[in-house]
């Protein structure tokens, strides 16, 4: 009699446990392109019950009740906990883990530049700091001349990646440019610019100020305006990045364009600048090398 009672209680317990199991079905997608992800580990939190998604990203799992929490893990993806909250069919999206390497840090680049219109001789130097808490600090200076009265110079200080996450990062810079042609046309301008970098797209906006003198007989222009620009990186030979900027003043429009790329240590640069009747198209070739601080060599 006692044996039969024990068997009945055991059978009742097992039956109750099986009866309380709930089947949850779902599909796991990648957040970036909404493609299904096979091989994702799905585990009921607090238990050892789990399964894996199929080739089409679908899965079935038995859980204690519809208030359970499921944990989704996959190599290269962020771990996600999903509270069922009474749902029996779910859709889950996983995001890529964010491991960003800033390869523009701790680099020195040197260019030889030739202007095809007014300033045939020149050079450019770019220096980038190590990545610090606030980002990468870059300094750039270029100077071109005809070895006589003409010159064209650019200088800028940039704080790159001062805000960064997996989706985008931001840069801010102060940019100065100045030229003189035949002692008759002179200009100096500076701008404060902010970049929003979305993968291979760069959106640029800022404020620009211009001091322009055409000749001694005509009054010059001093005015401020807005600057806008757009950049894009391409998966082509030399991996070029194309950037175009336009600044609008009261009586003038300033145009700037830059194409820059390279492979390993070889660098190629093309620049175009236009303000009023001044135009300059420049081509440069260069090299780059990294450096390490004493503290990093230990």
Q: Taking 50 as the threshold, does the pLDDT of residue 13 lie above it?
A: no
Q: Taking 80 as the threshold, does the pLDDT of residue 238 lie above it?
A: yes
Tens digits of residue pLDDT in 190-199:
999 999 999 8
Sheet order of strands, 89-94 included: 58-63, 22-30, 89-94
Q: How far is CA 166 from CA 135, 195, 208, in A?
A: 15, 16, 30
CB-based contact 129:136 (threshold 8 Å): yes
Please state which of the ranges 34-38, 89-93, 220-224 shows the lowest mean pLDDT: 220-224
User: What is the pLDDT at residue 20?
Assistant: 60
CB-based contact 243:257 (threshold 8 Å): yes
User: Residue 217: which pLDDT band, with cuts at 50, 70 and 90?
Assistant: low
CB-based contact 166:158 (threshold 8 Å): no
* pTM for the predicted model, two decimal places: 0.71
Tens digits of residue pLDDT in 106-143:
999 999 999 999 999 999 999 999 988 889 999 999 99
Region at 147 (left for phi over 0; alpha for psi -120 to 50; beta for the rest)? left
Q: Mean per-residue pLDDT for 92-97?
A: 88
CB-based contact 92:72 (threshold 8 Å): yes
Other CB atoms within 10 Å distance of the CB of residue 53 = 22
* Locus of tokens 């001789």: 121
List the domains of the chain with CATH numbers. Answer: 25-94 (2.60.40.1120), 107-291 (2.40.160.40)
Q: How far apart are CA 109 and CA 290, in angstroms?
A: 9
| Phi then psi dihedrals of residue 17, to 5 deg | -65, -40
Q: Taking 70 as the threshold, does the pLDDT of residue 25 lie above it?
A: yes
CB-based contact 225:214 (threshold 8 Å): no
- Cβ-based neighbours of 222, under 8 Å, separated by 6 or more: 210, 211, 212
Q: Taking 70 as the threshold, does the pLDDT of residue 10 lie above it?
A: no
């Amino acid at each position: 009699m006692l044996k039969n009672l024990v068997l009945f209680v055991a059978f009742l317990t097992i039956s109750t446990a099986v009866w309380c199991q709930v089947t949850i079905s779902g599909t796991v997608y990648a957040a970036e392109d909404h493609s299904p992800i096979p091989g994702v580990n799905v585990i009921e939190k607090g238990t050892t019950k789990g399964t894996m998604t199929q080739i089409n990203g679908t899965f079935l799992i038995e859980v204690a009740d519809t208030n359970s929490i499921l944990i989704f893990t996959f190599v290269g993806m962020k771990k996600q906990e999903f509270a069922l909250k009474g749902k029996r069919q779910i859709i889950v999206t996983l995001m890529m883990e964010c491991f960003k390497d800033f390869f523009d840090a701790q680099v020195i680049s040197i260019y030889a530049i030739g202007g095809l219109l007014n300033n045939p001789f020149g050079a450019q130097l770019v220096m980038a700091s190590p990545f610090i808490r606030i980002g990468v600090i870059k300094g750039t200076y270029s100077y071109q001349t005809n070895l006589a009265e003409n010159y064209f110079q650019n200088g800028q200080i940039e704080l790159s990646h001062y805000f960064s996450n997996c989706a985008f990062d931001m840069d801010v810079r102060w940019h100065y440019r100045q030229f003189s042609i035949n002692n008759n046309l002179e200009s100096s301008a500076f701008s404060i610019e902010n970049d929003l970098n979305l993968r291979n797209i760069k959106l640029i906006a800022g404020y620009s100020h211009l001091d322009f003198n055409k000749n001694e007989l005509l009054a010059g222009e001093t005015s401020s305006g807005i600057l806008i620009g757009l950049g894009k990186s391409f998966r082509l030979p030399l991996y070029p990045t194309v950037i175009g900027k336009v600044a609008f003043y009261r009586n003038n429009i300033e145009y700037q364009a830059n194409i820059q790329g390279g492979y390993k240590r070889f660098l190629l640069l093309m620049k175009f600048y236009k303000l009023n009747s001044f135009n300059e198209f420049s081509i440069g070739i260069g090299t780059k090398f990294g450096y390490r601080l004493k503290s990093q060599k230990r």
